[in-house]
Amino acid sequence: MSHSSDDPKRRLTVRDFLEMKSRGEPLAVLTCYDVLFARILEAEGVDLILVGDSLGQVVLGYDSTVPVTLEEMIHHGRAVVRGAPHTFVVLDLPFLTYQVSTEEAIRNAGRALKEAGVQAVKVEGGSPDICEAIQRMVQAGIPVMGHVGLTPQSVHSLGGYRVQGRGEEEASRLMEEAVALQEAGCFSLVLELVPGDLAGEVSRHLRIPTIGIGAGVECDGQVLVLPDALGMNPDFQPRFLKQFAQLDQEARRGVRQFLREVRESTFPGEEHTFGEGK
């Protein structure tokens, strides 16, 4: 197991993430939504788990993250925490649970920590309102991860899932938002679908670690959506994605084998069948 702490049972903290950045040690982050994969991620030493609201698309079958509710996030967050009790877990606050008012944002972030048992929350965007809500959450003792670039909860106003921060104006706005989020108290920042050079510039400029998805190798860490990274969604092949396994093929092979053996009456065999005495 590889984990950035000497003691694999010690959960990393926000201070560890800052120290990893200053040592130039990349943070390896994956999303997760259930206990089975949470156990695997913890055993293999992932630095941080994100219970992303990508849950909506990759697990619940919605066509965007917009319909995801806080109850759904908490339900899956609890399963992940049960499977990875020694790992730092961040839970995405879903659409409209932190944008309406600062008070609601704090209450909902508090629910994530109290009811799901996660260590931090993530919110999207870098507007002054979002930064104010983040500041208050941090004052209340809630660690917050920011997220700029492509922010999927705003897919309808962004006009689709496309690269953000291209051109001078967009790039300087993204840099301003990143700095504002750091000043608001975020302990780390996701950069999604951002040109590699800009992501590198933002990463060098900030004290807090950046975690890229589709943002090149110069970020301080990388995150992927787990089912995409493991090839469970074989038709989803954007440029930024690498499939590190082909689980869809392996799962199909297993299902076909089960169907064949049941239909041929070769399963269950004698070794799977209880007798009188044993």
Among 198, 213, 230, 232, which residue interacts with ligand KIV (rule: CB under 6 A)? 213
Number of residues that bind ligand KIV (CB under 6 A): 12
Q: Which stretch binds ligand KIV (CB under 6 A): 45-53, 96-104, 105-113, 230-238?
A: 45-53
Radius of gyration (C-alpha) of the chain in whole angstroms? 20
- Closest C-alpha among 123, 126, 111 to residue 77: 111
The yes-or-no answer on residue 176 being catalytic is no
Least gap, CB of 92 to ligand KIV (angstroms): 5
How wide is the angle at C-alpha 18 spanned by C-alphas 15 and 20, nearest 5°? 110
Q: How many CB atoms lie within 10 A of CB 277?
A: 4
Q: Are strands 48-51 and 88-92 parallel, antiparallel or unpaired?
A: parallel
Among 53, 72, 177, 220, which residue interacts with ligand KIV (rule: CB under 6 A)? 53
Answer whether the bond into residue 85 is a cis peptide, omega within 30°.
no
Q: Does 225 bind ligand KIV (CB under 6 A)?
A: yes
Among 52, 94, 149, 209, which residue interacts with ligand KIV (rule: CB under 6 A)? 52
Q: How many CB atoms lie within 10 A of CB 233?
A: 17
29-51 burial code (b ≥16 CB/10 A, e <16): bbbbbbbebbbbbbeeebbbbbb
Least gap, CB of 122 to ligand KIV (angstroms): 7
Residues 25-44 that bind ligand KIV (CB under 6 A): 31
Residues 145-204 that bind ligand KIV (CB under 6 A): 147, 190, 192
Closest CB to ligand KIV among residues 188, 269 = 188
Least gap, CB of 26 to ligand KIV (angstroms): 16
Distances 216 to 17, 194, 209, 213, 249 between C-alpha atoms, Å: 19, 8, 14, 8, 28
Q: Does 223 bind ligand KIV (CB under 6 A)?
A: yes
Closest CB to ligand KIV among residues 12, 215 = 215
Residue type for 136, please? R
Q: Does 215 bind ligand KIV (CB under 6 A)?
A: no
For tokens 């800009």, name the residue.
198
Residues that bind ligand KIV (CB under 6 A): 31, 50, 52-54, 92, 147, 190, 192, 213, 223, 225
**Which residues participate in catalysis according to the annotation?**
192
